Amino acid sequence: MEYTIFTILPIFLLPFLAFVLGSFIVKRSEKLAMAISTVSIFVSFLFSAKIFSDFIFSQFSKDYYIHKYFNWFDLSSQGLEFSVDLGIYIDNMAAVMLLMVTGVATLIHVFSIWYMADDKKYGKFFVYLSLFTSAMIGLVLSDNLLSLFIFWEIMGFCSYSLIGFYHEKEKAGEASLKAFMTTRVGDVIFLLGIVAIWGVIGTVNYVDIYSAIANGVFEGKMVLGISLATFAGFCIFAGTVGKSAQFPLQVWLPDAMMGPTPCSALIHAATMVAAGVYLSLRMYPLMELGGITPFIACVGGLTAFGAATIALVQTDLKAVLAYSTISQLGYMVLGVGVGAYNAAFMHLITHAIFKACLFLSAGSVIHSLHDHQTHDHVQEMPRMGGLKTKLPLTFLAMMACTLAISGVPLFSGFVSKDRILGDALYMAMTNKVYWVAYLLGALGAGLTAFYMFRMMFLTFFGAPRDEDVYKHCHKESLKWNRNVPLLLLSIFTLGIFFSGSPSGQGIVKFGGEKYEWFKVLMVKPIPKNFTTYSKEKLSTQDNRDKILWPKSSYESHDYGLNEEDEHRLHTAHIISAIASVVIASIGILIAFLMYIRQSFSSERIISRAAKFYKILVNKYYMDHFYIKIVIRRGLLKFNRLLANFDLGIYDRYAIDGWEHISRYCYRIADFFDRYAVDKIGVDGFGFVIKDVLNKGLRFLLAGKVQFYFIVLFLVLAFYMFRISTA
Amino acid sequence: MGLAPYLIISMILFILGIVVMMARKNIIAILLGIELILNASALNFVAYSRFLTNNIDGHIFSLFIIVVAAAEAAVGLAIVIRFFQVRKSIHIDEAVWLNDEV
Amino acid sequence: MYNLLNWILWLPVIGMIGICFIQKEKKDMIRYAALLTTFLTFGLTILLYLNFDNSVGGIQKSFSVTVPWIPQFNIYYRLGIDGISLPMTLLTGLLFFLCILSSWTVEKSVKAFFALLLMLESAVFGVFFALDFFLFYVYWEVMLLPMFFLIGVWGGENKEYAAVKFFLYTFFGSLLMLVGIIALYYAAGKGDNAFNILALSGGRWSDLSISLFGTEWAFDKLFFWLMFIGFAIKVPVFPFHTWLPHAHVQAPTAVSVILAGVLLKMGTYGFLRIAYPIFPQASVYYADFVALLGLINVLYGAFCAMAQTDVKRLIAYSSISHMGFVMMGLSAMTPQGMNGAVLQMFNHGTSTAMMFLLVGILYERSHHRWIIRPDGSKGFGGIASHLPKFTLIFIIGMFASLGLPGLSGFISEALIFLGIFEKYTAFTVMAALGLLIGAAYLLWMYKRMFFGEVNPDIKGYKDMNKREIFYMLPLCVAVIFFGIFPAPLLNIMKASVGQLVTLLDR
């Protein structure tokens, strides 16, 4: 395939143009906006499928890449060089990501056609979806952190808009504000990280960053007393924490479920939240250099476990899925932290597929259930139950995904998650810090199996708990736009698509290396091999001979370990796989006993551990801490204080105080004017004239002619005397 | 006989006129004093003209002075008569109408 | 091209005189006359842009005008334009045109209002064009007069106070500047170029010292501060900022827009045109302090904005915060920071103008600006459901203002951050907090005004009419276009900014 403007850019531009067009015509024809949006994303899916097949099937090589750039703006003048290039960088990872994003987005668009059909703002929803998809594609295609950040934030905006989609609800406003601001915390720190790198190496191109790492540019550079690589790595990881809802910024994601369910599936499960992990993977060499991988692993483990515990007590169908998303993202971050590059990325893809499917199924369930008093959809699991017969296809899809997420062998989740845990165990053998991460992850896996099956059992099995809702549940009709996306997605929850070995651990091998394409192609970049590379201007021509890396730039999939380490790795994987299966089956078994067999009731456990239950229901009081304490008691109080200081004290006294000072000044001036000038100067002059000169002159000028004459005579005499003596 | 005796007489006349003007309160007497001064000056003119120059300018001037003195006496006496009609007095200190205190 | 600057400068005056001859009762005719004038002026600024040579830094000779004005004191009528003043000129032309449109509903002494606006436009152009120090000062002062009356006559409930405060504040600053101007006049030897800004610049004053109150002062450091305070009041920089909330809140919509969109930039323009080129050594010497003041601006403005319950005052404080970024960028003295600062001047002009215009549109309907009334109830609520067009444009303006990538605010802020990071790392980290709070107060305001059930009070409001949409559109386009393609603007300014940076570098 020729890689030119015409074959790469449409992937990004088609949804974007659909957004632009859609936003103009949505007023006239909602249906047309929907159609444009869906068709454009489908076409861009075809383009990315072509790229995918080209990368994976035709060029089965980890060194295959496309890198094209164009100049965004240039500030060079007077010998000061500075220009910003944006570009497209597609390697195997981006190709897989592209396929996943466009594929899932297409299916979700299709599903939305059914789901949103009776919504007032039908067209507007698709307009937002188009913008979102184009931003996500742009993010994947980006060759540098700057344009990644741009698309990152645009996605944040779409997320904000879609969470606040039902803007007549007060809660939607709160949730959207919370989501945007929480991720913004991470984003601002992320921006600082970008700026830090940019300032030092002059570009934020991934490849340039890799080669800078290899060339030792980062060595000895300090920022605020810590090394630049640590600072930048930490800042960039903060972006991941915000976007991928890791501890401590995970609070926004559950609230984000206020949006329509398809948007939850696309944005808050499959793509946007995964973008954070994608970023961490891209910047993995930097984080490794900065030495923050243990920290990342612990954050991931903590999130994976913590979110799973909260999910145990949720009663809202979407909330369970939201917490499970956080938890699964925690696994991916854990994977990044333990260096399970390939597995973390695989979990990203598998999770995107099964979680999108889970959300769509949940949407399908919710859409079928109505409360007849309020005419709202029902999301509460305690009011469901026994829906298996009414919604068989939805049940089937959801069951497949539940099996996948719980880590049941043969399903994709098992392959990816347990590779992460296997690598974590391997790392724990060498470094004790990772034990925390591994144990949290392994425990979380058991909890995951439990709460997912709890959800399934509560929703689909047993007797209906709310007869009224059950009675009015619409029987599932075979609508292509409802069921095809679900079933297609659920097919891809099978592990076979990602790994030739059904266990995923390479124990039982199936087929040749090509079946292990994921493991072979998605590998860690080695910075030192990126020192020489070429990129070309984005144009209508394609220069094909520059496409392969001059020498292999990625590690081989066996991590280049020696035989002993290889053996240890192998052992760790086997142990971890067995442990996972055991833990997962225990989880499933407990759920089964509790909700199907009713061997022991959940109420009793809840009443026994009431305190713990309360903590979990309140989500470890983190919302409370952020909103009530940090924001309301801290920030807002401080702001009010400052604002009152500004206008009430500073302005009133320090600035308007000058008025008083000038008032005193003019009082003094007035005093001076009135007394010194007016009284003494002016009136005094009058006094002199009137009382002194007047009386004297009156005496003199009394008309006494003889007196005048005497004076005249004396004066004359005086002058005569003067003349005569001179 | 030289210039000096004339000047001495003229001076005596002048001083007498001055003294009259200063000392007497009678307006008519003051007018007489003025006449004396004028006569003294006329005498001076004639004397200088006779002794220092050979022309008769001084004589002519003295004639002028006599004419002016006559005219002045006429006007002055007329004023005195008007004054006397108003004030019933010819005392010089009565002639202080400009002073508002009167 | 010789007379282009003259035309731009005097066309509004011609329009003003023309309006003076129109009968008071013919209100529409007055409005159309003003509109035509500003439209032609805007057209001329576009023409100026088209004829501008991007590759050359500094003042472009082809546009320069030099005419003796008061030859006895070597005062010239010198006009010129470079890459820093051109974006400001374009912004001025555009905003005045839109402001005339937005003032269509002004009914109180229409004639005087539009005449004063046109006079203001001429004065603003004068400030951006003047290359003679004396001329600059004259225009700087002339601008105060229409502003004083526009706020004091057409303003809100507390207009006299705000007008007087604005006037005195600015006048205080300009007097300090006048002292500096005169000192420079004497230092330059009262010669032919003693008022010529270009001839004065270049750092000739670093060796001079001046004796004052019995001590020796470095000439450039002392007078840098006089100039600094003069311009800082206009920006406004932290301790001199309190006129802004009053003036903005009390001023009529058009005047708020001009005030935030153009007049604030005159302060930073003053730094770029006068304080920095004339006293480069002192500027570098005090850069740390200026950066600190900029940081304080960013944080102080943001924190104060968050506590406001009056929309207009909130946006006024956000202006303080955003101008703080400009100050930080200026103190960076790197091409990135400086270009970012100039770009931010332009972008803040468009985005904040949008915000003020939108608040004005809302105010025309509601006659109040409370987000939360003093009694604790919501002033608005549910606007998003009731006024969809208004909401859409408000979202664009708001997100441009908070620096969403893809809209104009982001790229300038990113450039500023990049410019200052190496020199002032700690400041940058703290300024990032300003970015965060900046998003918080705007979105919080948005949430309280636009989300939720439709407030019964706003049920009667009509959505934006055609005129209102028409004057919002150019700004929307500018905000989006320059967010995606900042290059056209950056290309204008980069040569001139580069020249300034090399001057400061030396």
CA A199 to chain centre: 23
Q: Which residues pair with A80 in a beta bridge?
A: A77
What 3-state class would DSSP assign to C76?
strand
Write down the pLDDT at residue A168: 85
Write down the pLDDT at residue A502: 61
The reply to whether C260 and C132 lie within a common domain is: yes
Q: Which residues pair with A412 in a beta bridge?
A: none
> Are the C-beta atoms of A333 and A303 separated by less than 8 Å?
yes
Confirm or reject contact between C404 and chain A (CB < 8 A): yes
Could you give the angle at the alpha carbon of B98 between the alpha carbons of B97 and B102, nearest 5°?
50
Task: Tell me which of A152, A154, A195 to substitute to probe the interface with C (most C C-beta atoms closer than 10 Å).
Answer: A195
DSSP labels for A419-443?
A: HHHHHHHHHHHH-THHHHHHHHHHH
- Residue pairs spanning A and B at CB distance below 8 A: 28
Q: Does the distance separating the beta carbons of B97 and A701 come in below 8 Å?
A: no
Query: A542 pLDDT exceeds 60?
Result: no
Write down the pLDDT at residue A536: 63
- Per residue in A233-284, pLDDT (tens digit) is 999 999 999 999 998 898 999 888 888 889 989 998 889 999 999 999 999 9
Chain A residues with CB-CB distance to B25 below 8 A = 706
Write down the pLDDT at residue C39: 94
CA A220 to chain centre: 31
Percentage, residues of chain A above pLDDT 90: 27
Euclidean distance between CA atoms A89 and A146, whole angstroms: 13
Weakest-pLDDT range from A473-482, A545-554, B30-39, C489-498 = A545-554
Q: In this structure, are strands A226-227 and A66-74 parallel, antiparallel, or unpaired?
A: unpaired
Model confidence at A68, in pLDDT bands (50, 70, 90)? Answer: confident
Write down the pLDDT at residue A562: 67
> Are the C-beta atoms of B38 and B14 separated by less than 8 Å?
no
The reply to whether C143 and C243 lie within a common domain is: yes
Q: State yes or no: chains B and C have 3 or more CB pairs below 8 A.
A: no
Euclidean distance between CA atoms A228 and C423, whole angstroms: 14
> Are the C-beta atoms of C252 and C106 separated by less than 8 Å?
yes
Model confidence at C128, in pLDDT bands (50, 70, 90)? Answer: very high
What 3-state class would DSSP assign to A270?
helix
Model confidence at A697, in pLDDT bands (50, 70, 90)? Answer: confident
Place of tokens 């046109």: C118
* Lookup: tokens for A675: 């007394």
Write down the pLDDT at residue A545: 46
Write down the pLDDT at residue A646: 85
Task: Tell me which of A70, A72, A75, A659 to substitute to probe the interface with C (most C C-beta atoms closer than 10 Å).
Answer: A75
The reply to whether C253 and C378 lie within a common domain is: no
- Per residue in A411-447, pLDDT (tens digit) is 888 888 888 888 888 888 888 888 888 899 999 999 9
Amino acid at A142: S
If you average pLDDT over residues A704-713, what whole number do you get? 82
Query: Environment class of residue C489 by beta-carbon count within 10 Å: exposed (0-12), middle (13-18) or buried (19+)?
Result: buried
**Residues near A585 by beta carbon (within 8 Å), at least 6 away in sequence:** A449
User: In angstroms, what separates the C-alpha of B99 from chain A's closest C-alpha?
Assistant: 5
The reply to whether C261 and C346 lie within a common domain is: no
What total of structural domains would you count in chain C?
2
Query: C296 pLDDT exceeds 90?
Result: yes
Query: A63 pLDDT exceeds 80?
Result: no
Q: Does the distance separating the beta carbons of A191 and C499 come in below 8 Å?
A: no
Weakest-pLDDT range from A634-648, B82-96, C122-136, C390-404 = B82-96
Hey, which chains touch C, using 3+ CB pairs under 8 Å? A
DSSP labels for C456-505?
A: GGGGGPPPP-HHHHHHHHHHHHHHHHHHH--HHHHHHHHHHHHHHHHHHH
Q: Does the distance separating the beta carbons of A709 and B22 come in below 8 Å?
A: yes
Query: A553 pLDDT exceeds 50?
Result: no
- Residue pairs spanning A and C at CB distance below 8 A: 162
Closest chain A residue to B25 measured between Cα atoms?
Answer: A706
Q: Does the distance separating the beta carbons of A713 and B22 come in below 8 Å?
A: yes
> Are the C-beta atoms of A395 and A358 separated by less than 8 Å?
no
Query: A91 pLDDT exceeds 90?
Result: no
Decide if C418 is inside a domain.
yes
Task: Tell me which of B11, B41, B97, B98 to substitute to probe the interface with A (most A C-beta atoms closer than 10 Å).
Answer: B98
Q: Which long-range contacts (CB under 8 A, 24 or more apart) does A656-660 make?
A: none
Place of tokens 């005030």: C259
Place of tokens 């850069």: C287
The reply to whether C209 and C70 lie within a common domain is: yes
Weakest-pLDDT range from A399-403, A576-580, C355-359 = A576-580
Q: Does the distance separating the beta carbons of A75 and C336 come in below 8 Å?
A: yes
Q: In this structure, are strands C75-79 and A536-537 parallel, antiparallel, or unpaired?
A: unpaired
User: In angstroms, what separates the C-alpha of A665 from chain B's closest C-alpha?
Assistant: 48
User: In angstroms, what separates the C-alpha of C324 from chain A's closest C-alpha?
Assistant: 16
Amino acid at A635: L
- Per residue in C310-349, pLDDT (tens digit) is 999 999 999 999 999 999 999 988 888 999 999 999 999 9
**Residues near C73 by beta carbon (within 8 Å), at least 6 away in sequence:** C134, C190, C195
> Are the C-beta atoms of A490 and A401 separated by less than 8 Å?
yes
Model confidence at A549, in pLDDT bands (50, 70, 90)? Answer: very low
| Domain B4-94 part of CATH 3.40.640.10 | no
User: In angstroms, what separates the C-alpha of C11 from chain A's closest C-alpha?
Assistant: 34
Write down the pLDDT at residue A137: 93
Euclidean distance between CA atoms C232 and C239, whole angstroms: 9
Farthest CA pair distance, chain C: 70
Write down the pLDDT at residue C196: 87
**CB contact residues (below 8 A), chain C span 210-229, against chain A:** none
Decide if C278 is inside a domain.
no
Query: C199 pLDDT exceeds 70?
Result: yes
Q: Does the distance separating the beta carbons of C306 and A635 come in below 8 Å?
A: yes
Nearest neighbour of B92 by CB, restricted to A698, A706, A713: A706
Model confidence at A558, in pLDDT bands (50, 70, 90)? Answer: very low
**Residues near A204 by beta carbon (within 8 Å), at least 6 away in sequence:** A144, A145, A146, A194, A197, A198
Task: Tell me which of A23, A77, A194, A639 to substitute to probe the interface with C (most C C-beta atoms closer than 10 Å).
Answer: A77
What's the whole-number average pLDDT of chain A? 85
Peptide bond into A262 cis (omega under 30): no
What 3-state class would DSSP assign to C374?
coil
* Lookup: tokens for C321: 């915060």
Q: Does the distance separating the beta carbons of A705 and B98 come in below 8 Å?
A: no
Query: A213 pLDDT exceeds 60?
Result: yes
If you average pLDDT over residues A44-51, what whole number do you get? 90
Write down the pLDDT at residue A470: 80
Nearest neighbour of A705 by CB, restricted to B18, B95, B101: B95
Query: A529 pLDDT exceeds 50?
Result: yes
Domain termination site, one of C252, C273, C294? C273
The reply to whether C17 and C136 lie within a common domain is: yes
* Lookup: tokens for B19: 């003294």
Q: Does the distance separating the beta carbons of A167 and C385 come in below 8 Å?
A: yes
Write down the pLDDT at residue A551: 43
Q: Which domain holds residue C464?
A: 286-506
> Are the C-beta atoms of A508 and A501 separated by less than 8 Å?
yes
List the domain boundaries for chain A: 292-525+561-617, 656-725
Could you give the angle at the alpha carbon of C41 between the alpha carbons of C37 and C44, nearest 5°?
145
DSSP labels for A680-703?
A: IIIIHHHHIIIIIIHHHHHHHTS-
Domain termination site, one of C273, C294, C318? C273
Euclidean distance between CA atoms A304 and A724, whole angstroms: 129
- Per residue in C141-196, pLDDT (tens digit) is 999 999 999 998 888 888 888 898 889 888 888 899 999 888 888 888 888 888 88
Model confidence at C13, in pLDDT bands (50, 70, 90)? Answer: very high
Chain A contact residues (CB < 8 Å to B): 698, 701-706, 709-710, 713
Q: Does the distance separating the beta carbons of B101 and A698 come in below 8 Å?
A: yes
Model confidence at B101, in pLDDT bands (50, 70, 90)? Answer: very low
> Are the C-beta atoms of C195 and C133 separated by less than 8 Å?
yes
**CB contact residues (below 8 A), chain C span 467-506, against chain A:** 486-487, 490-491, 494-495, 497-499, 501-502
Query: B98 pLDDT exceeds 60?
Result: no
Euclidean distance between CA atoms A410 and C462, whole angstroms: 60
User: In angstroms, what separates the C-alpha of C43 from chain A's closest C-alpha?
Assistant: 26
List the domain boundaries for chain B: 4-94
If you average pLDDT over residues A189-214, what whole number do you get? 88
Write down the pLDDT at residue C416: 92
The reply to whether C433 and C472 lie within a common domain is: yes
Chain A residues with CB-CB distance to C335 below 8 A = 75-77, 80, 82
Write down the pLDDT at residue A436: 87
Q: What is the DSSP letter of A672?
A: I
Query: A544 pLDDT exceeds 70?
Result: no
Handedness of CA B40, B45, B50, B51 (dihedral sign): positive
What does the H/E/C string look like for A443-490? HHHHHHHHHHHHHHHHHHCCCCCCHHHHHCCCCCCCCHHHHHHHHHHH
Chain C residues with CB-CB distance to A77 below 8 A = 57, 335, 494-495, 497-499
Euclidean distance between CA atoms A83 and A198, whole angstroms: 11
Residue C4 — φ and ψ, nearest 5°?
A: -60, -45
Q: Which residue intervals of C3-59 are DSSP H helices?
A: 4-20, 27-50
Euclidean distance between CA atoms A475 and A457, whole angstroms: 19
The reply to whether C181 and C256 lie within a common domain is: yes
Nearest neighbour of A184 by CB, restricted to C57, C439, C487: C439
- Per residue in A156-188, pLDDT (tens digit) is 999 999 998 888 888 888 899 999 999 999 999
User: In angstroms, what separates the C-alpha of A679 from chain B's closest C-alpha?
Assistant: 29
> Are the C-beta atoms of B74 and B7 separated by less than 8 Å?
no
Q: Does the distance separating the beta carbons of A703 and B99 come in below 8 Å?
A: yes
Q: Does the distance separating the beta carbons of A701 and B98 come in below 8 Å?
A: yes
DSSP labels for C282-350?
A: HHHHTHHHHHHHHHHHHHHHHHHHHT--BHHHHHHHHHHHHHHHHHHHHHH-SHHHHHHHHHHHHHHHH
Place of tokens 């900046």: C438
Decide if C356 is inside a domain.
yes
Percentage, residues of chain C above pLDDT 90: 44
If you average pLDDT over residues A357-381, what whole number do you get? 84
C-alpha closest to that of A225 among C417, C432, C287, C425: C425
Q: Does the distance separating the beta carbons of A191 and C487 come in below 8 Å?
A: no
DSSP labels for B5-72?
A: HHHHHHHHHHHHHHHHHHH--BHHHHHHHHHHHHHHHHHHHHHHHHHH-SSSHHHHHHHHHHHHHHHH
Hey, which chains touch A, using 3+ CB pairs under 8 Å? B, C
* Lookup: tokens for A242: 């915000």
Confirm or reject contact between C399 and chain A (CB < 8 A): yes
Q: Does the distance separating the beta carbons of A77 and C452 come in below 8 Å?
A: no
If you average pLDDT over residues A331-336, what whole number do you get? 92
Model confidence at A540, in pLDDT bands (50, 70, 90)? Answer: low
Chain B residues with CB-CB distance to A706 below 8 A = 21-22, 25, 30, 92
The string over A12-23, giving b where at least 16 C-beta atoms fall within 10 Å of a residue's C-beta and e elsewhere, is: bbbbbebbbbbb
C-alpha closest to that of C451 among A161, A263, A122: A161
Chain B contact residues (CB < 8 Å to A): 18, 21-22, 25, 30, 92-93, 95-99, 101
